[in-house]
Amino acid sequence: MFRYFPDNYTWSAAIDLALMAGGQLGELDRQLAPLRDVEPTPEAWNGAWKKLADRLENDAAADLVKGYCRSAGIRYLRACMYRLHGERQVPPGTEKMDTYRSALRAFGKAIEHAPLDLERLEIESPDGILPGYLIPAQGPRKRPIVIFYSGFDVVKELLYAFVRDEFARRGISCLVIDTPGVGEPGLLA
């Protein structure tokens, strides 16, 4: 495992996940290197990721003014992922929910401007509506589907960043979906 924070497994694992989700090591290093010299607190962690996401969203807005829609969409996607990585270390409460809402807004802008080949679905369950995204297989005929459920600290948007179109290019549709109490259903809990 890449140990960006040699004495902090949790933070290092989050860096590895961010890279797996499309994060860029250079921008991560520029923003997160100062965390090596501070007390590891959820506030410091989330604050650093928020600053990085804010910068990306500002750059994305500037891209849109110039007509660079796809570039803006990709920046919004990374901003979403970075917000989700900051939020993972925050205890339950208002800050955590506000950060997740900001991540959802950024993901929506990524879908709009990149554009991402996704279809939003809401599946009824005994526990309420479970929101998800269908990543359709490439090709005209019916294809098999793989379903990825969110978990304790991974939401559908992060699952999308891990999977993207890897299954779709192989002719397999993919559904990434939140479970009761996690992600969007957790906003209502």
Query: Which residues does the chain have with pLDDT short of 50?
Result: none
Is the pTM value of this prediction over 0.85? yes
Instruction: Show me where the domains of the chain are located.
Output: 1-116, 117-189
Dihedrals φ, ψ of 164, to 5°? 45, -125
DSSP state of 115: T
Distance CA 33, CA 8 (A): 13
CB atoms inside a 10 Å sphere around CB 91? 7
Per cent of the chain over pLDDT 90 is 83
Residue 105, phi-psi category: left (phi > 0), alpha (psi -120 to 50), beta (remainder):
alpha
117-189 CATH fold: Rossmann fold (3.40.50)
pLDDT digits (tens, 9 = 90+) for 85-96: 999 889 989 999
How is domain 1-116 classified at the architecture level of CATH? Up-down Bundle (1.20)
Q: Which of 184, 187, 161, 185 is nearest to 174 (CA)?
A: 161
**Alpha helices (H) along 67-93:** 69-87
What's the one-letter identity of residue 142?
Answer: K
Average pLDDT score over the chain: 93
- Find all residues with CB under 8 Å of 11, minimum gap 6, and list them: 4, 5, 35, 40, 45, 89
Q: Is 29 exposed, middle or buried (0-12, 13-18, 19+ CB in 10 A)?
A: exposed
